[in-house]
Chains A and B, each alone.
Chain A
Amino acid sequence: MGALVALLGAAILGLVPAAPASAQRATGVVECRNCHANRDFLVGKAATLKGDSALYITDSLLHDSKHATLSCTSCHPAFAGGYPHRDTSVVAVPCQSCHEKEGADYARSVHAPDAATGGSAPSCVTCHGAHHVLAAADPRSPTYPLNVAGLCGGCHANAKIIGTYFGAPDQAQARNAVPQYYKTVHGIAMTKAGLVVSATCNDCHGSHLILLPDSAQSTINRVNIARTCGRCHAGVLATFDSSSHGQALRSGARTPTGHSAPVCIDCHPAHQLVSASDPVWFRGVVKECGACHEEEYGTYFETYHGQVTELGFGITAKCSDCHTAHAMLPATDPKSSVYPTNLVATCAQCHPQANANFVKYQPHGDPRNRARYPLLFWTWLFMTTLLVSVFAFFGVHTLLWLGRLTLNRLHGRPLNGHPERPGKEGQS
């Protein structure tokens, strides 16, 4: 009974073999489908079963795709002569004959050279499919945002491919990129929250012109990173551009120790991207600031703010709470959050009743710096001297005591030599 229904269904769908039409006018879908939509006919036509399957192209695949308006021969002009196919050397025309820009970009990408030499790198059809080519906006498309990480992960999370291409010790990031992505805010937003506007692989790395970061045109080159992130984080980009860091990035200025201006990924590592409220992140980002601002980093951890941060509690001021996260400017700039007249507002974020006197507080006061903070220095010196001298007194006295006790014990004398009270009753 079941077999009968299946047969009936197949017949309705036109899958029941029909005699192949004469191949004289094989220029349209209709003609090609006579053979290529006929499974039974295709059996044994290629060398392998897989090859047979590849020849099987149903109508629905094409009619549903972005290429529905094309005929088979648009991509397979060599077969325009119909059946039998005389020239099988050119199976299909290159996609770039239509998709010029994408083709040109792809040709310059890291994928192209490997694909050209028969490597595992993807070509057009690897990502877009051969016949069922869908728009990236189509949820069924492999290039739909929700599917991209899985698509790229097909290779970049494939142990065999990773081992072949990213085996070097310094390529750990490349080996872990996809699994790490799923743990980032972007990945979580995409997979858990289903937020298709969140970033996925191609939003940062590009789709066709995928380049290594050392390439000047790469979207993930340091110089271009802010622009890349700014495509979504437009508000941050504008702020960053006007900040000291943005200015230094444009001017190419470097710190005396040779550091260039920080860009997005220095504080927000792309593949370890965690929420800014996570202790792992804010502790790391303070360290990142300290990579250049060494003195401020050191003195910060001398203060209450720094010590609470060090303990892993985010309840107190970190670099960005006073200096802002993206709009940092020198204290001499009237637009700076730490410009004298802006300090009350800045401190009041945490200390609401703060007044002009309060904000004279030195958040980077260094007791070792006598020239800049003399009172702090003397307080520190007094306390240290007190500590050391009391310790010395304690220590020496206690050690002497201990020494005497030991000697008394060795000589069998009373441990503590309290005076005998002559003429007193009882022992002592």
Chain B
Amino acid sequence: MTEMTGNTAIARPAHEAAERSFVRLSRFQRGQHLAMLVSFLVLAITGIPMRFPQVHWLGGIYAAVGGLPVARAIHRVAALVMIADGAVHLVYLGALLVRRRFRLWEAWPMLPTWKDAQDWWATSLYYFGIRRELPAYDRFNFREKFDYFAVFWGLPVMMISGLILWFPVFFGNHLPDIAIPMAYIAHSDEAILAISAIVVWHFYNVHYNPDKFPMSWVWITGRISEEEIRREHPLEYERLRKVAADRDATPTEADASTAPGGAAADRRTI
């Protein structure tokens, strides 16, 4: 226990617990989130007046940026950023998959499992007062997975429908006649879905949640405190402790970053 190498921080004596933190999001993951955040906001702001043209004050957004043609150009640049972000994420997932020797759930801890459904049920029971406490979540709880897949589903829908609307003649010349109106419906409704998912769901998770208010800082610092990980992600915490304990026993073992959950415990700091 006194032998310390990077990620064995969790094995430190108890009195240091409060100072410890873990990397929850790597720099690269935070970069992906930041690109998503910026492009999403720009897309939402430049897109929403089109969805509600009868709300005239929203039209002021277009007036402010110099007219619809300018807003459209901005929207498309942001769209390219988001598409690139999505592509980078797919490549990243592929690389993780290779590194984890195609153990899918290890490479992609966001994948929903049966436990998520159970957790949702248990959480609901807790909300109703039937259970006394929340279930023990793993690295990503069902809410976070929901958040993630809202984007994972939404981005391709927005991208495909958006490209059809961007190049109506190219697509209209080759696709069935219904493609453009379908794309229009899909694009505008999915946009509403995405914006409300962010404002209701994601913001509730990372802003309004009294444990997080005014904001979870993970997206900037990438770090989660030991207290927080033990409270909110106890299963991951346990696993990390075990990995660290094994590591201490056999220091040549692969480092904890290969543990389930991607860049889990931080081996660079603490």
Contacts and interface: CB of A to CB of B under 8 A. Distances in A.
Interface of A: 301, 303-304, 306-308, 310-313, 315, 351-355, 357-358, 360-362, 365, 367, 373, 375-376, 379-380, 383-384, 386-387, 390-391, 394-395, 397-398, 400-401, 403-405, 407, 415-421, 424-428
A373 B178 CA distance: 8
B127 interface: yes
Contacts of B49: 311
A354 B169 contact: yes
Contacts of A398: 200-201, 204
Interface in B111-150: 124, 126-129, 132-136, 150
Contacts of A415: 210-211
A370 B3 CA distance: 71
Interface string B164-186: 01001110111111101110111
A386 B157 CA distance: 13
A375 B178 contact: yes
A287 to B, nearest CB: 13
B177 A362 contact: yes
Given A401-B127, A419-B133, A354 B189 contact: no
Contact of A403 (B127, B168, B173): B127
Q: Which 7 A-B pairs rank lowest in CB-CB distance, beginning with the nearest?
A: A360-B177, A425-B14, A310-B53, A400-B127, A383-B189, A358-B172, A365-B181
**What size tier do the contact residues of chain B reach?**
35 or more
Contacts of A405: 210
A313 B67 contact: yes
A311 B59 contact: yes
B65 interface: no
B134 A419 contact: yes
A308 B173 contact: no
User: Which of B15, B134, B180 has most chain A Cβ within 10 Å?
Assistant: B180
Nearest to A306: B53
Interface string B221-263: 0000011001110100000000000000000000000000000
Given A304-B184, A418-B231, A376 B178 contact: yes
B116 to A, nearest CB: 13
A376 B183 CA distance: 10
Contacts of A358: 168-169, 172-173
B129 A407 contact: yes
Contacts of B128: 400
Contacts of A383: 185-186, 189-190
A5 B134 CA distance: 113
A310 B54 contact: yes
Contacts of B227: 426-428
B230 A311 contact: no
Contacts of B168: 351, 358
Nearest to B204: A398
B169 A426 contact: no
- Residue of A353, A400, A415, A418 most packed against chain B (CB within 10 A): A418
B196 A379 contact: no
A374 to B, nearest CB: 9
B220 interface: no
Given A311-B62, A403-B127, A376 B185 contact: yes
A351 B169 contact: yes
Contacts of A397: 124, 127
Contacts of A375: 178, 182
Contact of B193 (A351, A352, A386): A386
A426 B17 contact: yes
A376 B134 CA distance: 43
A401 B178 CA distance: 42
B18 interface: yes
Interface string B48-71: 011101100001001000011100
Given A313-B68, A361-B180, A383-B186, A421 B196 contact: no
Contacts of B182: 375-376, 379
B200 A362 contact: no
A405 B209 CA distance: 9
11 contacts: A304-B165, A307-B50, A315-B68, A357-B175, A358-B172, A361-B177, A376-B178, A390-B193, A404-B126, A419-B135, A426-B18
Contacts of B204: 398, 401
Contacts of A419: 133-136, 234
B183 to A, nearest CB: 9
A193 B8 CA distance: 85
Nearest to B201: A394
Given A303-B184, A387-B193, A394-B197, 18 more contacts: A304-B50, A304-B165, A304-B184, A313-B68, A361-B177, A376-B181, A383-B186, A383-B189, A387-B192, A398-B201, A400-B128, A417-B126, A418-B134, A418-B231, A419-B136, A421-B234, A426-B226, A428-B227
A361 B234 contact: no
A297 B173 CA distance: 26
A384 B190 CA distance: 9
A251 B144 CA distance: 68
Contacts of B234: 418-419, 421
B230 A421 contact: yes
Contacts of B69: 313, 315
A365 B182 CA distance: 10
Contacts of B17: 425-426
Given A351-B169, A379-B185, A427-B227, A362 B133 contact: no
